[in-house]
Structures are given as structure tokens and as C-alpha cells.
């Protein structure tokens, strides 16, 4: 294992220990980690359903699906193990890729909502590290991929709205 991987694994383990030391910390991390994806799905669906935010919602959907698909393809090819008991790959995180892409796409149209989604993403993704779904590098790589996916979508659709 390389030096950077050891640092990454150590940072993830440190966060998990810190959260475990808090009363109810593990449960709170599990709840936050589990709520991330459904919360973003509902938000995107509501944006699509509402005429005034439909374009933002469709772009957020496209960016999120594109980012998650790219992350899945990379993850399956790289096959980096997770810190916890799950056997599937971890790097890059699909949740991080989708959340970052959705937050950025939303923020291009609705700045305040995009910033709120970014904050929710940070909390939920930190919880995914705390609950042993990922280590920090998995999240960072997924988020970078998500930002790049939305940037590519932005170039594809042309205009910048906000």
C-alpha cells in the first residue's frame, strides 16, 4: 500500500473513531449517509415537476446520472476496496459524483439552492466516510468527477444562466 493510500485510510479511520466516540454518532452517520441519495432524488424530481425550475432539474438529472455512470465505470475497473464490509469497489464514490454534479448544476440556475445542496452533500458525504462506506479519497475523487461532469454538461448546453 502506498503512502498516500495509508494517509487516506488513516484519515478515514480517524473520522470513524471520532464519530464512534460521540453518543449516537454511528447512528447519526448512518442516517445522514442513507438520506443523501434519496434527498437529492426528491429535490431533483421536485425541480423537474415545477415549471420555473424544470430546466435546472433536467440539467441536474443529466449531470448527476452522467457523473454517477462515469464513477461506476471507473470504480468497477479500479476495484479499490471499501473500508467497511461491503465487497464492491469504492473509488471514486458514485454518491459523491452525483451529489457534486447535482449541486453544481442546480447552483448554475438557483444559487441559493445550489449552495444549500452543496452543504447537504458535504454532510452526507462525510457521513459516508464515518459509516465506513468510503475513505476520504473516494469522496474527493467522486466530487471532482461530479464537478467535471457538470462542467462538461454546461459546455454542452451552452449558456450560463446564473
pLDDT tier, 162 (very low <50, low <70, confident <90, very high otherwise): very low
Nearest to 94 by CA among 152, 24, 149: 149
Q: Are 15 and 135 contacting, i.e. CB atoms less than 8 angstroms apart?
A: no
Q: At residue 121, what are phi and psi to the nearest 5 degrees?
A: -60, -45
Residue 42 scores a pLDDT above 90:
yes
Q: Is the pLDDT of residue 84 over 50?
A: yes
Q: Where are the domains of the chain?
A: 3-157
Considering the entire predicted model, what is its pTM? 0.87
Q: With contact defined as beta carbons under 8 Å apart, do 148 and 99 qualify?
A: no
Mean pLDDT of the chain: 88
Chain segment 101-116, per-residue pLDDT in tens: 999 999 988 999 999 9
Please say if the pLDDT value at position 133 is more than 90. no
Amino acid at each position: 500500500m502506498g503512502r498516500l493510500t495509508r494517509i487516506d485510510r488513516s484519515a478515514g479511520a480517524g473520522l470513524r473513531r471520532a464519530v464512534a466516540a460521540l453518543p449516537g454518532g454511528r447512528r447519526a452517520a448512518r442516517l445522514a449517509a442513507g438520506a443523501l441519495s434519496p434527498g437529492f432524488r426528491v429535490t431533483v424530481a421536485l425541480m423537474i415537476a415545477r415549471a420555473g425550475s424544470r430546466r435546472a432539474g433536467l440539467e441536474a438529472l443529466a449531470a448527476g446520472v452522467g457523473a454517477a455512470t462515469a464513477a461506476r465505470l471507473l470504480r468497477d475497473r479500479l476495484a479499490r476496496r471499501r473500508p467497511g464490509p461491503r465487497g464492491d469497489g469504492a473509488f471514486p464514490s458514485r454518491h459523491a459524483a452525483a451529489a457534486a454534479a447535482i449541486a453544481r448544476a442546480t447552483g448554475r440556475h438557483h444559487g441559493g439552492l445550489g449552495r444549500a445542496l452543496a452543504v447537504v452533500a458535504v454532510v452526507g458525504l462525510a457521513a459516508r466516510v464515518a459509516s465506513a462506506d468510503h475513505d476520504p479519497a473516494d469522496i474527493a475523487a467522486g466530487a471532482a468527477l461530479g464537478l467535471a461532469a457538470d462542467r462538461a454538461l454546461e459546455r454542452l448546453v451552452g449558456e450560463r444562466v446564473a
